[in-house]
């Protein structure tokens, strides 16, 4: 692998000039910068991020690459961002928020090669994620909020989808519900396989089958209008269902609002429990949602700590964490009517 010294030799400059050209910390002549960039391209040089950012006690920064597509930023994502930003600041780092739609690998490669960041946090993890592959091969420290299909050698925080699903289903069964639906994200069946959608689907279906509970799947985009459409589908196609498990937060709120619109009593006729709605968003629909609480703020903090520990050479911390959350009973669940 090429080093900064190799780039300096090929460009005919000092090693410090290479750093200035890549980071922009000091101004250099355009022709000098061009020679450096040409050498970087020819040698396929990747800066050593931890050394570059931490050297000389200069400002330290990590980037959080998160989804900010056409539907905006979901409330659940904001909780992760807040936790991550606070944890970074407490440890003397700047957190650069890096939203985009899709992976946009060219942008990711350019940003990472800039030398301005020490490491990367990734959200909205795909089961097969090009971002993870690139960062791993480039030896750029990274931590995932989520997991790929093969996470054994990666550093991550994620929900424990099996335990979360079991906790929700067991609670509904205790209330007497035997015909249950769950509303998953429609993107699961598109070309992009997002870990949270697929893992929740597998966990819910497998546990329901294990205990002999009838389960129906509804699909919705994570927006209120799509949740409304899912309610109409449930009413028309599965009128005997007595409880719904919502996986996507905004769609779940839209579902409950639609039930109110069409005169269906929640929780008298239909119970609803959400697995992915932050506590500060439970009153987006009425009644307030019963949830398996999302420890998103804590998970964001934990991900930053894992990443910064990598940068600072701190060993011994738990770098693969699964979080569950507590059952918080509010106004959308009640015993099933026989």
Residues 65 and 85 in one domain: yes
How large a percentage of the chain has pLDDT more than 90? 50
* CA–centroid distance for 265 within its chain: 33
CA angle (302, 303, 307) in 5-degree steps: 115
Query: What pLDDT score was predicted for residue 191?
Result: 55
Residues 181 and 238 in one domain: yes
Please check the confidence at residue 199 and state whether its pLDDT lies above 70: yes
- The residue range of the domain holding 244 is 161-293
At residue 56, does pLDDT exceed 60?
A: no
> Quick one: pLDDT at residue 114?
67
Give 137-158 pLDDT, tens digit per residue.
888 899 999 999 999 999 999 9
Phi, psi of 320, rounded to the nearest 5 degrees: -135, 105
Q: What are phi and psi of 24, to 5 degrees?
A: 75, 15
Contact 117, 63 (CB under 8 A): yes
Query: How far is the C-alpha of 125 from the C-alpha of 197, rounded, in Å?
Result: 10
CATH number, domain of 235, equals: 3.40.50.2300
**Dihedrals φ, ψ of 159, to 5°?**
-75, 150
**Within this chain, do residues 145 and 70 fall inside the same structural domain, yes or no?**
yes
Question: 44 vs 142, which has greater pLDDT?
Answer: 142
Tell me whether residue 337 is in a domain: no
* 275 in the same domain as 165: yes
Identify whether 332 is part of a domain: no
Query: 35 and 53: one domain?
Result: no
Asked whether the CA dihedral 133, 137, 139, 140 is positive or negative, the reply is negative
Question: Total domain count for the chain?
Answer: 3
Residues 122 and 141: their CA atoms lie apart, in Å, by: 11
CATH code of the domain in which 34 resides: 1.10.260.40
pLDDT digits 0-9 by tens, 110-144: 766 666 778 899 998 888 888 899 888 888 899 99
Coil, strand, or helix at residue 323? Answer: strand
| Residue 333 domain-assigned (yes or no) | no
């Amino acid at each position: 692998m090429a080093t900064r010294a190799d780039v300096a030799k090929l460009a005919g400059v000092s090693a410090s000039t290479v750093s200035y050209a890549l980071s922009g910390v000091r101004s250099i002549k355009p022709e000098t910068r061009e020679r450096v960039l040409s050498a970087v391209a020819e040698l396929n040089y990747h800066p050593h991020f931890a050394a570059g950012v931490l050297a000389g006690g200069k400002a330290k920064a990590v980037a959080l690459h998160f989804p900010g597509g056409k539907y905006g930023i979901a409330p659940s994502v904001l909780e992760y961002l807040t936790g991550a930003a606070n944890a970074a600041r407490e440890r003397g780092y700047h957190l650069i928020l890096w939203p985009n739609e899709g992976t946009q690998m060219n942008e990711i490669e350019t940003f990472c090669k800039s030398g301005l960041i020490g490491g990367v946090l990734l959200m909205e993890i795909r089961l097969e994620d090009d971002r993870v592959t690139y960062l791993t091969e480039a030896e750029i420290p990274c931590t995932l909020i989520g997991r790929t299909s093969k996470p054994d050698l990666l550093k991550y925080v994620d929900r424990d989808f099996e335990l979360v699903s079991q906790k929700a289903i067991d609670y509904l069964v205790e209330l007497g519900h035997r015909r249950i639906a769950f509303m998953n994200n429609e993107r699961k069946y598109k070309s992009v396989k997002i870990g949270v959608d697929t893992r929740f689907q597998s966990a819910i279906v497998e546990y329901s089958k294990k205990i002999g509970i009838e389960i129906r799947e509804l699909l919705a985009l994570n927006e209120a209008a799509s949740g409304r459409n899912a309610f109409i589908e449930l009413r028309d196609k599965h009128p005997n269902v007595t409880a719904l498990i919502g996986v996507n937060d905004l769609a779940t709120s839209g579902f409950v609002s639609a039930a109110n619109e069409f005169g269906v009593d929640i929780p008298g006729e239909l119970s609803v429990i959400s697995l992915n709605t932050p506590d500060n968003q439970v009153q987006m629909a009425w009644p307030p949602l019963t949830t398996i609480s999302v420890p998103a703020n804590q998970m964001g903090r934990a991900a930053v700590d894992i990443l910064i520990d990598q940068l600072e050479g701190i060993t011994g911390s738990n770098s693969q964490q699964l979080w569950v959350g507590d059952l918080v009973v509010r106004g959308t669940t009640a015993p099933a009517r026989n």
